[in-house]
Amino acid sequence: MSHQPESLTNAENPPDEDLVARAKTARPGDMRAFTVLIERHQDSVQTNCRYLSGNSADAEDLAQEVFVRVFFALKRFEGRSSFRTWLRTVKTNHCINYLKKRKGAAFLDLDAPAARDSENVRVQPVGEKNLTRETQRQRIQSILGAMPDSLRIPLVLRDMDGFSYDEIARELGIGLSATKMRIKRGRELFRSLHAGADEGTQP
């Protein structure tokens, strides 16, 4: 069994659709094309799984399961949307099902104590005046980690994943106006926590 993408990554940089076609027609055990697809999308899938689930310990298992599901469903993928869009849908459905199982169907309850207290959420300052890319990354991690599910999940779907408001409302099973309100509140909270972290880094 070859796990190395070999010639697929070295000289070429084929588009996703070519790799999907190669993966579909590959002999059993030939994972080269699918490996390139994994390596190309693993960062975004891992990040989204982490911040949709709100659980860094389970994020990698969720991301692995997303790719396993994609592998077994690949034969049924007809290419009516791009591979990236299809992958995003599989990932989001899987993460939302995980949340429903873990927290129940009301995991987005805006009246939950965590959501009501969101104004009191604080983020530890990262402690450097001139933010490097890594420090900025840590700051975003801690802000997202401090946000309640009810505001973080719509924000992640909108501003990290690029779903439209309609799509988010459908995925989460809430109304369009509720979706817009949550995203607005999520952005406000994100912005205020970001500003708060800025103040914490002032000398």
The contact set with other proteins (CB under 8 A) reads: 1, 3, 31, 35, 38-39, 42-44, 46-47, 50, 60, 63-65, 67-68, 71-72, 81-82, 84-85, 88-89, 136-137, 140-141, 155-156, 158-165, 167, 183-184, 187, 190-191, 194
Looking at beta carbons only, is 57 or 104 nearer to other proteins?
57
Q: Taking the complex as a whole, how short is the minimal distance between the CB of residue 166 and other proteins, in angstroms?
A: 9
Q: Taking the complex as a whole, how short is the minimal distance between the CB of residue 129 and other proteins, in angstroms?
A: 17
CA separation for the pair 150, 182 (Å, rounded): 7
Token pair of 147 as six digits: 């946000």
Q: Among 131, 108, 130, which residue's Cα sits nearest to residue 185?
A: 108
Q: Taking the complex as a whole, how short is the minimal distance between the CB of residue 136 and other proteins, in angstroms?
A: 7
CA separation for the pair 159, 176 (Å, rounded): 16
Looking at beta carbons only, is 68 or 105 nearer to other proteins?
68
Q: Any idea what DSSP says for residue 111?
A: T
Q: Among 78, 69, 62, which residue's Cα sits nearest to residue 20?
A: 78
Q: Taking the complex as a whole, how short is the minimal distance between the CB of residue 29 and other proteins, in angstroms?
A: 9
Token pair of 61 as six digits: 């298992």
